[in-house]
Structure 1
Amino acid sequence: MSLSHFVLLSCCVLLAACSKVNQENYAKLKPGMTKTEVEGLLGGPSECSGALGISSCTWGDDNSFISVQYAGDQVLMFSGKGLK
């Protein structure tokens, strides 16, 4: 393995280990937080959908995720799965 391949692989592993989708950040979520506060904590969501002032955004993937439901701009409820 060349040095450049090793460096690239190391960077990928470090980025995966630095995921913001974890139990520590999940514990910081609170009802009433704004979307801006949640995105400051978790980064940009993987996907969002909604209608009529209610929306849902998800961070992560099928195995490990945090899902946040908003009423307007404020957290209504949230859930998580596979968090470490």
Structure 2
Amino acid sequence: MKVRVCVVLLSCLWLISCSKINQENYNRLKAGQTKAEVEDLLGKPAECSGALGLSSCTWGDQSSAFISVQYVNDKVVMYAGQGLR
């Protein structure tokens, strides 16, 4: 039983440490990148919304760490992050 608990805890720690929502990846974002380039870097977003060529996508959880990217015609125009490590 103790081995299972240790394995579960180590797995959780590993998943947390593998998060793509971090300062290093945020620093790699640049205006003009395509939506596909951002998704290669950060993975699929938690949520996206938009219309008429404008969109906004968010990765992570706004109650802790997140990155938000705004696009015009699928090109980065602005981005912001909070709680990144």
Q: Aligning the two structures, in what range does the TM-score lie when normalised by the shorter sequence?
A: over 0.9
Query: Runs (4+) of structure 1 moved beyond 3 Å?
Result: none
SS of residue paired to 1:83: coil
The residue number in structure 2 matching 1:52 is: 52
Mapped to 1, the partners of 2:77 and 2:46 lie a distance apart of 19
**Amino-acid identity (%):** 61
Q: In the alignment, which residue of structure 2 is the partner of 1:78?
A: 79
Letter in 1 for 2:14: L
Q: How does 1:3-82 map to 2 (within 5 A)?
A: 3-62=3-62, 63-82=64-83
Unpaired stretches in structure 2, ≥5 consecutive residues: none
Q: CA deviation at 1:36?
A: 0.7
Write the deviation string for residues 19-78 of structure 1: whole angstroms up to 9, x where unpaired: 111111001000010011000000110110001110000001121100000001110110
**Distance in 2 of aligned mates of 1:24 and 1:50:** 27
CA RMSD of aligned residues (A): 1.0
Aligned to 1:50, the other structure's residue is in SS state strand
